[in-house]
Amino acid sequence: MSGVVVVAEASAGRLRPSTLELISAARSLSAQGAGPVAVALIGAEAQELADAVDLDGVAELLLIPAPVAHFEAHVAQAALEAIVAQRAPAVVLAGHTVQSLGFMPAVASRLRLGFASDVLSVHWEADRVRAGRGAYGQRLVAELEFPGKPTVLVLVRGGAFAAAAPAAAGSAIRTFLELDLDGAPRSTRIELREPPAGEVDITRADFLLSVGRGVEDAERIAELELLAARIGATLSASRPLVDAGWVSSERQVGQSGRTVAPKVYLALGISGALQHVAGMSKARLIIAVNSDPQAPIFDVAHHGAVADLFEVATELAQQLG
């Protein structure tokens, strides 16, 4: 078993930037002795996207056309199962994304692969792969090994590796894999619905006052709305408050909401789960107030305070208002 296969991900005809990060991770595994790097492109647009992943250090492109124009989990599953069966790579790298989570665990269980998701680090030593991931709500890091697994499927968190430079064009061999995938789809797309355009666009605000689970009481959202208005900020929120119906979805920051990069992001009572941080880590100044000193938000914030958010909010209304 040798070699690293990167599974490229595209959406709406464009390569996801995370794919370049995976290529970078694959190159370092290859340099550590894991074997040559191949990039697999599964889908109707495989050929059009090939140039974008034909980068320095990529030996082969595996092109797998699909019978449906858009991503369909069972087609992707059948295609990846065929790739693993034919190529028997030592490592398969893919993004820890909604798309990957829709089919890769099924490939891993069916083919009895080694498997880890949301991986933060991966390396190759003494002819085997090791990986690191968060544990216990990201409080700890778990080091993983995959004994007795000739092929290991690793889903890598976005941003864990720097992206491969897109400028350096390679000269990879292009291989078309002709698979019979006509019977593979098991779901039919009825429609693709974009999120409704709301009355507020939080991506355009310079100053976001963002509130999270620490609010604890629907009645108190109004106080925070008033505070935001008073200090010239736009109110945004993390997912739990949107799920609970306390704040409208157009104000949600995170992977499944909006990605924002304001001048100031003031986070009150937000713990800083992965899916939230993905949507706000590019803010120029991040200040976090949380009652839990262990909250992961303090790892991404530039300034932080361990305090009751409402006590700080009351003072802020007076001082910034």
**Distance of alpha carbon 139 from the chain centroid:** 19
Q: Is 193 in the site for other proteins (CB under 8 A)?
A: yes
* 191 in contact with other proteins (CB under 8 A): yes
Q: Which stretch binds other proteins (CB under 8 A): 29-37, 42-50, 82-90, 128-136?
A: 128-136
- 205 part of the interface to other proteins, by CB under 8 A: no
- Give first-to-last CA distance, the chain, whole Å: 64
Cα–Cα distance for residue pair 176/139, rounded to 1 Å: 44
Cβ atoms of residues 8 and 39 within 8 Å: yes
Length of the chain: 321
226 exposed, middle or buried (CB, 10 Å; 0-12, 13-18, 19+)?
middle
CA–CA distance, 309 with 290 (Å, rounded to integer): 7
Beta bridge partners of 292: none
Cβ distance to other proteins smaller for residue 62 or 265: 265
Q: With CB under 8 A, what is the number of residues at the site for other proteins?
A: 98
- Interface with other proteins, residue 269, by CB under 8 A: no
Q: Under the criterion CB under 8 A, does residue 239 sit at the interface with other proteins?
A: yes
97 binds other proteins (CB under 8 A): yes
* 282 forms part of the interface with other proteins (CB under 8 A): no
Taking the complex as a whole, the smallest distance from the CB of residue 155 to other proteins amounts, in Å, to 8
Looking at 29-37, 39-47, 72-80, 161-169, which segment touches other proteins (CB under 8 A)?
A: 72-80
210 binds other proteins (CB under 8 A): no
Choice from 86, 206, 261, 282 touching other proteins (CB under 8 A): 206
Provide the b/e sequence for 262-300 (b: ≥16 CB within 10 Å).
beebbbbbbbbbbebbbbbeebeebbbbbeeeebbbbeb
The pattern of x and - marking residues 8 through 47 that bind other proteins according to CB under 8 A reads ---x------------------------------------
192 lies in the binding site for other proteins (CB under 8 A): yes
Among 50, 52, 106, 163, binds other proteins (CB under 8 A): 106
H-helix or E-strand containing 271?
none
Q: Using the rule CB under 8 A, is 256 a contact of other proteins?
A: yes
Binding pattern for the stretch 146-175 against other proteins, x by CB under 8 A and - elsewhere = xxxx--------------------------
Q: C-beta of 258: minimal distance to other proteins in Å?
A: 7
Q: Which of 59, 96, 84 is nearest to 278 (CA)?
A: 96
**108 contributes a contact to other proteins by CB under 8 A:** yes
- Nearest approach in angstroms of CB 131 to other proteins is 8
Among 31, 33, 169, 284, binds other proteins (CB under 8 A): 284
Q: How far apart (Å, rounded) are the C-alpha atoms in residues 169 and 53?
A: 8
**Amino acid type, 300:** V
User: Tokens in use for 170?
Assistant: 């390679």
Of 253, 12, 3, 16, nearest to 156 (Cα)? 16
**82, 177, 200, 274: which one binds other proteins (CB under 8 A):** 274
Q: Which stretch binds other proteins (CB under 8 A): 25-33, 52-60, 161-169, 263-271?
A: 263-271
User: Interacting stretch for other proteins, rule CB under 8 A, among 41-49, 159-167, 168-176, 192-200?
Assistant: 192-200
Three-class DSSP category at 6: strand
Are 113 and 104 spatial neighbours (Cβ–Cβ below 8 Å)? no
Q: Nearer to other proteins by C-beta: 82 or 231?
A: 231
Residue 92 makes CB contacts below 8 A (sequence gap 6+) with 4, 5, 6, 7, 80, 84, 113, 151, 152, 153, 154
